[in-house]
């Protein structure tokens, strides 16, 4: 499964694990969960772990764009954990489009990413 996610013990933290190529069907499961968390507690924090991730198909990219635009102000922090330069670059490109604090971490820094996403 290219997208797996879990709500962490902290009410406003979600951890998403991406691999392979994401499609629209992945967002049919993921988007309602993100919106449920937002409706329950306001701003959320997300750790996005990209391992062997190859991007999106056309529908997946469209669904990602819609989710990002609709909830740009609902994201407080985003930790991007990756293994490729383009993933690091993508984390920087996203910054002007949201009020969220965004930070890139290498896979070897997973625990630092988890700590950063939870702390104020």
Residues 33-53: tens digit of each pLDDT:
889 888 887 899 999 999 998
| Residue 72 DSSP symbol | T
Predicted pLDDT at 69:
83
Domain range for 65:
3-118
pLDDT one-digit tens code per residue, 102-116: 899 999 999 999 999
Report the distance separating Cα 107 and Cα 81, nearest Å: 6
Q: How many domains does the chain have?
A: 1
Distance CA 100, CA 61 (A): 20
Q: What is the CATH number of the domain that holds 44?
A: 3.40.50.10600
- Give the mean pLDDT of 62-88: 86
Counting residues of the chain whose pLDDT is more than 70, the rounded percentage is: 96
Task: Please state the pTM of the whole predicted model.
Answer: 0.85
């Amino acid at each position: 499964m290219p997208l797996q996610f879990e709500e962490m013990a902290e009410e406003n933290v979600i951890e998403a694990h991406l691999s392979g190529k994401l499609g629209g069907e992945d967002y049919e499961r993921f988007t309602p969960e993100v919106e449920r968390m937002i409706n329950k507690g306001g701003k959320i924090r997300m750790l996005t772990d990209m391992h062997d991730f190859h991007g999106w198909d056309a529908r997946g990219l469209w669904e990602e764009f819609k989710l990002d635009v609709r909830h740009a102000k609902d994201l407080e922090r985003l930790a991007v954990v990756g293994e490729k330069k383009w993933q690091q670059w993508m984390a920087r490109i996203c910054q002007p489009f949201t009020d969220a604090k965004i930070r890139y971490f290498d896979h070897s820094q997973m625990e630092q990413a988890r700590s950063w996403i939870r702390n104020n």
